[in-house]
Amino acid sequence: MTTALDTDHPHNYNTVRLHEGIGYVTPKDEHHGRGEAIRKDRRDGMVAAHQTRVATRRALRKDHS
């Protein structure tokens, strides 16, 4: 007997679940060549967030002096 879980598992495993071994992208994204672009966008986002956080903390520190 086939259940919904049996038929959904390969789809979820390949298109939804992020895989540590390939840089937290889905196998489908990696297979279609989107993996590196996704990882680059994440890195760029982390750099931007860090720069914003540093600027905010510096501004707050100046306000308290």
Q: pTM value? A: 0.76
Range of the domain at 56: 34-65
Q: For residue 29, what pLDDT is reported?
A: 98
What is the model's pLDDT at position 9? 87
Q: Is residue 23 part of a domain?
A: no
Domain count for the chain, please give it.
1
Residue 55, pLDDT above cutoff 70: yes
- With the C-alpha atoms ordered 14, 15, 19, 22, is the resulting torsion angle positive or negative? positive
List the Cα angle 28/48/31 in 5-degree steps. 10
In a domain, 22, yes or no: no
The reply to whether 5 falls in a domain is no
In a domain, 62, yes or no: yes
Per-residue pLDDT tens digits for 4-43: 766 788 899 999 999 999 999 999 999 999 999 999 999 9
Task: Give the DSSP per-residue string, 21-40.
Answer: GGTSB-HHHHHTT-HHHHHH
